[in-house]
Structure 1
Amino acid sequence: MTDGYWYCKRWLEYGTVTATAEALSYTPSAVSAQLRSLAEHLGVTLLRTEGRLVRLTPAGRLLADRAAELARLSNEIHADIAQRGNAERSLLRLCGFSTPMAALLPRLANSLQERHPYLQVRIEEADPLGCFQKLVTETADLAVLVVNAEVPSVNDPRFEQSLLVKDPLDLLVHEDSSMAAMDSVDFATLASAAWITDRVGSANYQLFLTTCLSAGFTPSVAHHASDWDAAAALVMLGVRI
């Protein structure tokens, strides 16, 4: 039943059943069915038609406003039940962006299974925003990711967020560049540089763009390369626009 509350919350953010369904990776019919089931359970009307638009009623808005509180309480109850339940049936679902997938999650899974032999650990790769969506839809329990402009604020009451590590960004330059011998570079001095970066929309690209904007400039991208070797080859050969 908690899904219905989240659908009310998402409705406020996205405005339509279709957009809400896409954000949560469900079908529009599944979202509509959950909202109807919740309305029948509570005995209230959650949606009303205004011309060609469908909007939340005051009752629907109230439920949406309390959704984060309900989800937090639901998670606490589930955690308490899991601690008291049968360890042999415990399942921990982890998800993460590619970097923590390689550096952190495999070791974490091994460590947990050594300490808790009956614990089942499942790992799935997802971009940062996708990780949060998995937490919202309760298809993941823990996410390890990098922060970018797309992800929810650290003050979002739906999630408990903690800083694990600070991961510096490496700048790859041609061996003849004056920056090749430097230990660090002031990012703001790179405002006029021609960049080679990941494809638009990828998690690495979003992180790169956020870093540039934080330094006060919009980057000029000469090439897009998702493969690290391909990007390194472009830098080595000095390929420009």
Structure 2
Amino acid sequence: MTEWDIKKLQILRTLSERGTVTATAEALLMTPSAVSQQLSNLAKQLGVPLLEAQGRRVRLTDAAHLVLRHAEAVFAQLERADAELDGHLRGDAGLVRVGAFSTAVPALVVPAVQRLREAHPLLEVRVREAEAAEAYELLASGDVDVALSLAAHAPTARDGRFSRVPLLADPLDVALPAGHLLASVEGLRLADLSGEPWIFGGSGPWSEITLAACEAAGFVPEQAHSAAGWTAILSMVEAGMGVALVPRMATEGGARRAGVVMRVLTGEQPRRHVVAAVRRGAEEGRGVGRVLGALRRVAQRLG
């Protein structure tokens, strides 16, 4: 039988994710020569070439991709074993680390933690704010156990490393200055705001979401100002500098201002989809399962 080395398979998996030997070495706190040596040894153990030269870089061979497809099932089973063993040893005690994007922290994560502290006081939850891409890097590297992100920026369901859990379709409302002519108009549609100056980020997920929603309504928004944080965006709206799409989770989480009117749009309501993800197999652990259950219950209330 072929000798399978889990540590070397993890190095191969990281190379597949990071793309270069140097980046792999940095992620695993190894030297590039050590990474190359370990992968060379793995190729000898398996009896197939795993890497081939591509200019100054290397790429995985078809055999390496085949190995990784089977390795993902092994990693998932090991996650299940860790989860089951941890549950056996700790019962309701334990530690679950959650990485979440900014608006999810006050709207979803904090209420979930409060529920868990009452129902399962021995379960410790540590929260880390992180953007979508960073959250999945932290999840893949084992630095967090649950990652909250937007579905549009999460790995696809075909990614065998993770299990995804849909949480919420978060509606996008429009923020208008309190004295705006359209602030009290009945049946306000997104298309009615096509001639307004808009406030949204210069790049990143929120910029893409705003552009996609407006384009679906038939216009390209004129970006008058650029900001990434809700405090800055709503401050500019309050000052009459423009209008903005704001996720309802942000206002549920406390991002409100007295001089801003939030209007629910009629017609096709734009939404963003929020998902949680765990390393495949980890969802069967008692602690991670309780955290996912609490997040689902809070999301149902918001929905």
Give TM-score, length-normalised by structure 2. 0.62
> Kindly tell me: are residues 212 and 85 of structure 1, through their superposed partners in 2, closer, same or farther at Cα, counting changes over 3 Å?
farther
- Give the aligned partner of residue 195 of structure 1: 198
> Kindly tell me: are residues 54 and 156 of structure 1, through their superposed partners in 2, closer, same or farther at Cα, counting changes over 3 Å?
closer
Flag the structure with higher strand content.
2
Shift of 1:124: 0.4
Further displaced range: 64-73 or 25-34: 25-34
Shift of 1:39: 4.3
Partner secondary structure for residue 155 of structure 2 = coil
Partner secondary structure for residue 74 of structure 1 = helix
Shift of 1:96: 0.7
Alignment of 1:81-160 (within 5 A): 81-87=85-91, 90-148=94-152, 150-160=153-163
Shift of 1:167: 1.9
Partner secondary structure for residue 14 of structure 2 = helix
* Structure-1 separation of matches of 2:16 and 2:58: 15
- Whether contact under 8 Å (1:87, 1:118) holds in the other structure is no
Partner secondary structure for residue 175 of structure 2 = coil
Give TM-score, length-normalised by structure 1. 0.76
Q: Does 1:4 align with 2:11?
A: yes
- Whether contact under 8 Å (2:104, 2:148) holds in the other structure is yes
Q: Supply the RMSD in Å over aligned alpha carbons.
A: 3.3
- Whether contact under 8 Å (2:11, 2:24) holds in the other structure is no
* Structure-1 separation of matches of 2:233 and 2:239: 10
1:47-104, Cα deviation, whole Å (9 max, x unpaired): 2335533222343232234344333223222222222223487221111111121122
- Whether contact under 8 Å (2:16, 2:60) holds in the other structure is no
Alignment of 1:1-241 (within 5 A): 1=7, 2-10=9-17, 14=19, 16-18=20-22, 20-21=23-24, 26=27, 29=30, 33-34=34-35, 36-41=37-42, 43-44=45-46, 45-87=49-91, 90-148=94-152, 150-182=153-185, 185-201=188-204, 203-215=205-217, 217-239=219-241
- Structure 2 unaligned blocks of 5 or more: 1-6, 243-303
Give the number of aligned pairs.
Answer: 232
> Kindly tell me: are residues 155 and 174 of structure 1, through their superposed partners in 2, closer, same or farther at Cα, counting changes over 3 Å?
same
Partner secondary structure for residue 180 of structure 1 = coil
1:162-214, Cα deviation, whole Å (9 max, x unpaired): 2222322121123454431246643355455431113423x433433443455
Shift of 1:222: 1.4
* Structure-1 separation of matches of 2:96 and 2:162: 17
- Select the structure with the greater relative contact order (CA < 8 A; seq sep ≥ 6): 2
- Whether contact under 8 Å (1:35, 1:46) holds in the other structure is no
> Kindly tell me: are residues 28 and 93 of structure 1, through their superposed partners in 2, closer, same or farther at Cα, counting changes over 3 Å?
closer
Partner secondary structure for residue 207 of structure 2 = helix
- Whether contact under 8 Å (2:24, 2:35) holds in the other structure is no
* Structure-1 separation of matches of 2:72 and 2:187: 42
